[in-house]
Amino acid sequence: MLASPPANAPFAIRHHKPEALREALRKMVLIRQFEEGAEDCYVRGLIHGTMHLSIGQEASAVGLCMALTDDDKITSTHRGHGHCIAKGAEVGRMYAEFFGKETGYCGGRGGSMHIADVAKGNLGANGIVAGGIPIAVGAALSAKRLNPGSVVMSFFGDGAVNEGAFHEALNMASVWKLPVIFACENNHYGMSTSTERSSAQPRVAERAAAYAMPGITVDGNDFSAVTEAGHAAVERARAGEGPSLIESVTYRWRGHSKSDRNRYRSKEEIDSWVARDPISRFATLLGEHGIADADAVAAIERGATREITEAIEFAKTSPGPDPAALARDVYAPDSAPDDSAGVPA
Amino acid sequence: MNVQAPTLEPAVRELSYAEAIRDALAVALETDDRVILMGEDIGIYGGAFQVTGDLVQRFGEDRVMDTPISELGGAGVAVGAALTGLRPIYEFQFSDFATLAMDQIVNQAAKLRFMLGGTVSVPLVMRFPAGSGTGAAAQHSQSLEAWFGHVPGLKVAQAATPHDAKGLLLAALDDPNPVMLFEHKLLYKMKGPVPEGHYTVPIGKANVCRPGRDVTIVATSIMVQRALAAAETLAGEDIEAEVIDLRTIRPMDRATVIESVARTSRLVVVYEGTTTLGIGAEVSAAIAESEAFDYLDAPIIRLGGAEVPIPYNPELEKAAVPQVPDILDAVRNLVRGVT
Amino acid sequence: MPKVDMDMSSGTIAAWHADEGAEVKAGDPLFDIETDKAAMEVESPASGRLHNILAGIGTEVAIGKPVAWIYAPGEAVGPPPESDDGGNTALPANDATAAVAVTPAPAAADHVARTADRQGKARATPRARRLARDHALDLSGIAGSGPRGRIAAADVEAQALETRTGGTVAHRPLTWQAEAGPLKVHRSGTGDGAPLFMIHGFAGDSATWQPVEPHLPAGHPVLKLDLPGHGKSPRRQIDSFRRLARSVVEAFDLEDIDQAHLVGHSLGAALALALADVRARRIASLTLIAPAGLGPEVDGAILTGIARASRRESLAPWLAQLTGGAQPPDEGFARAAMLARRDPALRAYQIDLADTLFPDSVQSFDLNPVLSRLEIPAKIIWGRSDRVFPWRQALRAPGRVALHLLQDIGHMPQSEAPEDIAALLSDMLRITDRSHAPV
């Protein structure tokens, strides 16, 4: 075992303890297997609706969340399974949500697109592109007033940066110097339309200049690079210096959703990104620094497989919602205690 | 020893509708640190209609926040703040601008609690200066409350008096759900008795402002005042109109309306929003679906806004929404069996 | 001139509700006619302008003959169109012109009239409908004061007030006031022969005898009694059959008749029997048609159904029960019967009377002993298809009482087989005249 990482080692290796790094790898593997499992359940007809898979983007989700604590909050996107697991959610309750079960995180009312784990600070995936960005700014306002030192990270995709909400939210966050990190996972396509075709300035981080905040572009499949960018932005936010914009360049291996026929991407392009698999790269990095050898990685994978199997079983056997409770939770009870903050303890 | 009984009744002053709202905002800011005001030009300017007035001087810019002209972003920030522990009160400069913020109101505020399985709530108050009569034309004069009344998860109220303006606002703040308050701009200068301190007017409860036996006039917002004026005239013609201020259109107090119509057998619904698919339709349907149907002795009349954008010309503007003579004609025809 | 009464062949115009040239609306009252039974309002069958009023007030017009013309808007008004002598009104070529009150209504008029009510449904508010249900009133008989003839609650209430709550629902308190004065006896016919004294049945009136009368032999005056609370007789407090019988005896005594041929139908027959019992010396003969009082069984539902009926629609099914079934009473009959029953106080009275005389659908009085001791010539006429009183009750009659059982005849032999009844009565008159003739 190395006493301490060399000075020229990547940021993640220098900054995080081996256990934390192995846990990060475990989460990335779990995300991958979770989505593969979800895909399998979907094709078996166990899950209805649709879902948006982030396979290939695991380093971005886990790396950016490395600097967050349970006190910090995130807002997520329709492609939000990775964020949810990275923030600490249980895969059993996530599957249960996909299966529309009462034991799901949203009682089966939200499904994949609204997956949330409020107790861990995940304010929810959002079905509206850029819908979560102003909400994150509002949460940051709360953080500044009610819980100084805590921060909010808002995940969104490259498609969201052309929504008005993105610009309005970044502007206000900067005007009010709010502790929020805007994390753009640039996977090159808003559904089928590439950033080159949709954005006059495809380099998302460049837009930070318009709102007087730091903007940085990182290789989203490089766990350490992502972690480093996230760390800097979170530190800046905690210090009260205001928001940052991170552009994490990555790629989704699967289509936009389950109905995508993939007409807008070439096989060569997809293969080139599969070759840059963030999990293999991170596992290799951990191996190089003696943090996790092949056996350890295999053990992590086996552990994840077991966890996924149990989680799916839990979801399958969980009870569905009572139709009589259809209108439950449309309104909060009027008799809510006076100190009811939005988020329950 | 002769102990003097303490005064239980709070002092009541004559305040304008705008002052009553400001009074409510001040009470809220004083009593609850989580309350913040957000909106365009609500700080040093005092609000486009001088509702917030001097509150920024009294409570500071951290509590009375001028937002950029960013209705969508501003509404979203308010939603996010409400979601995470603050009690924001968001002022739209004109209710018409809510169109820019529909995603955050309809897709986010209204649905978050439900989508997230009841694990969150959005205790958000939004204020919407609404209505015609100021010569501001089509994009600054609308009455869009029925739009929001269509959305499960929202509550929508309209105060018709200074007293209710304050009481409904404080009730909205106590409510753990997003509450939309539509304030008629012509009412801002209307004076009326307003108690000091904290009191609430329940959301979801209609107010029978004037009892009567011959016809029920259900009205909202400024139309309550017009209905009351009409009822006064009608009383001289031996027509006793019962005037009900709906106060809240979602949830709607159907029971009060049903009980009244079952007694009077006649119903006129007066509201400023476009007639079609509006409050009148909902109130009418409530009657048609209730036991009061059997007691109807004449067709129901909806007196709503004309099917036009609000025009600029003052005569046209008046003609576009119900006025007192319109209510008089409708009621007379109804009671005398002409309609 | 519409036919509104079963036996009506003509009607007299009693009033016009619209003037020459006036705008009239379908459903508006147009004119009143009088028959010997009742006055009746006739509604305009069409909307348009009223012209060529042929029949002034007091004019008697044969049914089916035009009384005036209604012209469609814009139609040229000329001399009254010709009509043939057959009583059928000839419609002008332009069928937008509708003849008034022709039976049946001309197609064009019918079409226009339907604008006032769709598929025969009255135009009424929900409250009016509810009130009408509560009062057991038929909306089709209520004039609407609202636009397009819409019936509002006030219209129903006015009708209900007019009928003093109608007395049409069993649990509703019924209102009628006792009245003073002698019972009404209608007279017709002249001659020196012994008069017939005829007593109608429950819920009927002197008109019961109308079908038979033309077939009776001449020479005998006919006296037709209206029972208390029936026809034109005052409503008297009746707490028993005996008391009712006493009022009949009083009426008979007032006539100061030396010898009379008594004829009764149903309840009237029972009363005739009771009268014969106490005035035997003044009774030449007794004819009992479908008599009450000879057995306990009675179909109370029919009696109370008739008593309660406030509209011809509710009356007609019960009337159908009265006859032998071969031919149910037509609409005109029901309408006429209902006209006689239009007064709700009359109906209220009769409901009370039915309860007194036929409590729990049992005849409270037994006249078999009377029949046994009767010595005057008597006959019983009964329809074998009588559904009110079973004809087998007649089999208890003593041998000297003649029995005539009519095939396929119900409870109303005098209207179902008037000529047969008249013939049987003629026999009785002849026999008894001979028996009383000086030797």
Is B200 domain-assigned? Answer: no
Last residue of a domain, one of B172, B195, B218: B195
- The residue length of chain B stands at 339
- The residue length of chain A stands at 345
- State the residue for tokens 């009690």: B87
* pLDDT above 90 coverage of chain C, percent: 20
Which residues in chain B touch residue C128, judged by CB atoms under 8 angstroms apart?
Answer: 297
Q: Which chains touch B (3 or more CB pairs under 8 A)?
A: A, C
Query: Residue C339 has what pLDDT?
Result: 65
Q: Is the dihedral of CA C143, C148, C151, C152 positive or negative?
A: negative
pLDDT(B217) > 60: yes
Number of domains in chain B: 2
Query: Residue C363 has what pLDDT?
Result: 83
Is B101 domain-assigned? Answer: yes
Q: Could you report the per-residue pLDDT of A150-163, keeping only the tens digit for each?
A: 999 999 999 999 99
* pLDDT above 70 coverage of chain A, percent: 96
CATH number for the domain running over C185-436:
3.40.50.1820
pLDDT(A295) > 60: yes
pLDDT(B196) > 70: yes
Query: Residue C232 has what pLDDT?
Result: 86
* Nearest-angstrom CA–CA distance, B293 and C141: 23
- The residue length of chain C stands at 439
Distances (CA, A) of A333 to A107, B113, B174, C41, C169: 17, 11, 11, 64, 50
Q: Are residues B121 and B168 in the same domain?
A: yes
Contact assignment for B339 to C153 by CB distance below 8 Å: no
Instruction: Report domain extents, chain C.
Output: 1-116, 118-162, 185-436
Q: Are residues B178 and B226 in the same domain?
A: no
E strand or H helix at C24: strand C23-24
**Domains of chain A and any CATH numbers:** 11-321 (3.40.50.970)
Count contacts between B and C (CB, < 8 Å): 31
Per-residue burial over B141-180, b = 16 or more CB atoms within 10 Å of its CB, e = otherwise: bbbbbbbbbebebbbbbbbbbbbbbbbbbbbbbbbbbbbb
- Show the domain range for B249: 207-335
Last residue of a domain, one of B158, B175, B195: B195
Nearest to B83 among A105, A139, A165 (CB): A139
Q: Are residues B165 and B68 in the same domain?
A: yes
Interchain contact A194–B (C-beta under 8 A): no
Q: What angle do CA B237, C28, C111 make, to 5 degrees?
A: 125
The second-level CATH assignment, the architecture, of C118-162 is: Irregular (4.10)
* Selection from A30-34, A337-341, C175-179, C310-314 with the highest mean pLDDT: A30-34
Residue type, A336: A
- State the residue for tokens 């002993």: C369
Q: Looking at this predicted complex, what is its ipTM? A: 0.92
Last residue of a domain, one of B195, B215, B230: B195
Q: Are residues B190 and B213 in the same domain?
A: no
Average pLDDT of C400-417? Answer: 91
Interchain contact A73–B (C-beta under 8 A): yes
Nearest to A142 among B74, B85, B114 (CB): B85
Distances (CA, A) of C157 to A22, A215, C139, C149: 88, 81, 11, 16
Most B-contacting residue of A145, A154, A163, A174 (CB-CB within 10 A), to test interface = A145
Contact assignment for B84 to A138 by CB distance below 8 Å: yes
The separation between CA C190 and the C-alpha centre of its own chain, rounded to angstroms, equals 24
Distances (CA, A) of B284 to B231, B243, B254, B269, B280: 20, 15, 10, 8, 6
Interchain contact B262–C (C-beta under 8 A): no
* Nearest-angstrom CA–CA distance, B167 and A144: 30
Contact assignment for B84 to A344 by CB distance below 8 Å: no
Is B316 domain-assigned? Answer: yes
Q: Exposed, middle or buried: residue A45 (CB in 10 Å: 0-12, 13-18, 19+)?
A: exposed
Q: Which chains touch A (3 or more CB pairs under 8 A)?
A: B
Query: Could you say which DSSP state residue C404 is in?
Result: E
Band of residue C435 on the pLDDT scale cut at 50, 70, 90: low
Which residues in chain B touch residue C154, judged by CB atoms under 8 angstroms apart?
Answer: 297
Nearest to B107 among A119, A123, A128 (CB): A128
Which residues in chain C touch residue B297, judged by CB atoms under 8 angstroms apart?
Answer: 125-128, 152-154
Q: Are residues B143 and B251 in the same domain?
A: no
Q: What angle do CA C97, C103, C104 make, to 5 degrees?
A: 80
Q: Are residues B189 and B213 in the same domain?
A: no
Q: Could you report the per-residue pLDDT of B120-170, keeping only the tens digit for each?
A: 999 999 999 999 999 999 999 999 999 999 999 999 999 999 999 999 999
Q: Are residues B185 and B225 in the same domain?
A: no
Q: Are residues B282 and B325 in the same domain?
A: yes
β-strand C10-16 against C60-62: which pairing, if any? antiparallel
Q: Are residues B215 and B302 in the same domain?
A: yes
Most C-contacting residue of B297, B301, B339 (CB-CB within 10 A), to test interface = B297
The second-level CATH assignment, the architecture, of C1-116 is: Beta Barrel (2.40)
Contact assignment for A336 to B176 by CB distance below 8 Å: yes
Q: Are residues B272 and B187 in the same domain?
A: no
Q: Cβ(C199)–Cβ(C263) under 8 Å? A: yes
Query: Residue C166 has what pLDDT?
Result: 43
Per-position DSSP letters for A120-158, written without gaps between them: GTB----SSTTTHHHHHHHHHHHHHHHSTT--EEEEEEG
Q: Cβ(C351)–Cβ(C174) under 8 Å? A: yes
Band of residue C325 on the pLDDT scale cut at 50, 70, 90: low
Query: Residue B84 has what pLDDT?
Result: 97
Contact assignment for B297 to C130 by CB distance below 8 Å: no
Is the preceding omega at residue C104 within 30 degrees of 0, hence cis?
yes
Q: Exposed, middle or buried: residue A331 (CB in 10 Å: 0-12, 13-18, 19+)?
A: buried
Average pLDDT of C329-349? Answer: 68
The residue with greater pLDDT, C435 or C202, is C202
- Stated pTM of the model: 0.66
Q: Are residues B221 and B323 in the same domain?
A: yes
Q: Which chains touch C (3 or more CB pairs under 8 A)?
A: B
Q: Could you report the per-residue pLDDT of C181-234, keeping only the tens digit for each?
A: 899 999 888 888 899 999 999 888 888 898 898 899 889 999 999 999 998 898
Nearest to B80 among A134, A332, A334 (CB): A134
Is B148 domain-assigned? Answer: yes
Residue type, C415: S
Known catalytic residues of B are 71, 140
* Nearest-angstrom CA–CA distance, B73 and A328: 29
pLDDT(C86) > 50: no
Query: Residue C167 has what pLDDT?
Result: 41
Average pLDDT of C333-338? Answer: 64
* Nearest-angstrom CA–CA distance, A227 and A246: 11
Q: Name the closest residue on chain C to residue B338, using Cα atoms.
A: C147
Query: Residue A211 has what pLDDT?
Result: 98
Q: Are residues B252 and B185 in the same domain?
A: no
Q: Cβ(B339)–Cβ(B296) under 8 Å? A: no
